[in-house]
Amino acid sequence: MRGLFILALSLLSLNTFAAGSKIDIPKYDWSWKGFFGTYDRASAQRGLKVYREVCAGCHSMDLIAYRNLADLGFSEAHIKAIAAEYLIPDGPNDEGEMFEREAIPSDRFANPYPNVQAARAANNGAYPPDLSLIVKARPKGADYLKALLLGYVEAPADKEVPEGQYYNKYMDGNLIAMPSPLSEGIVDYDDGTEATMDQMATDVTTFLAWAAEPSLEDRKRIGLKVILFLFVLLVLAYISKQQIWRDIK
């Protein structure tokens, strides 16, 4: 009996500690939320620019090919131009040697590192995660990602921040190995949008949300068609039932 009491007390203490250390992630208004929501293509295109100019130096997106950008409204010529800016390892050639070539639309996004060891060596032992599914892989997804990008603040006086770590109020434990990637005006948007911290965080999160679930809009359209079909079927079934049983009181 005493053992059960101690176990219950321990679990209560753990729950109290967890509740006390819980981090409240802000909720943001995203265009793709809701049954009829769709991705903001203009925002996603700007987000691609933020990814390419800010994030791609450390983070890969191995599950996305350049040709997939057509879904965001990029033309074939534009996609070819984007891909051609990157070098992709290929081979072996006729001499049995590996080589690099310009990327083509069918290639996956270029990886900034040749292997995991090189990635860790370049980041003080920390491995930058692949961003292809980052919005799906994190609890509260898009909300968490935007909050994290905007969550870099000065550490409280009683909080010790080790060398090579940074304080982020939305990171579990408040310590993160990645320095703040965004700063005001770090990106020059082609459409003239002002590159504020909030705007860039919104845009790159929109792009990464699309990358994690590019078929979201198709699924919603199919779901709507299924609901309409079932509604029509229900009406026909009701009419049939009335016709069949009309002579029976």
Q: How far apart are CA 211 and CA 111, in angstroms?
A: 16
Q: Would you state the pLDDT for residue 1?
A: 46
Q: How far apart are CA 80 and CA 66, in angstroms?
A: 8
Q: Would you state the pLDDT for residue 249?
A: 60
Whether the pTM exceeds 0.95: the reply is: no
Q: Would you state the pLDDT for residue 220?
A: 87
Q: Would you state the pLDDT for residue 15?
A: 44
Q: What are φ and ψ of residue 68, in 5° steps?
A: -65, -20
Q: Would you state the pLDDT for residue 180?
A: 95
The answer to whether the Cα torsion of 178, 183, 187, 191 is positive or negative is: positive
The DSSP code for 22 is -
Per-block average pLDDT, block size 10, for the chain (249 residues)?
Answer: 42 41 89 94 98 96 97 96 95 88 96 93 91 94 97 93 93 93 95 96 98 92 90 90 78
Q: Would you state the pLDDT for residue 152?
A: 96
Q: Determine the 3-state secondary structure of 111 from DSSP.
A: coil
Q: Would you state the pLDDT for residue 22?
A: 79
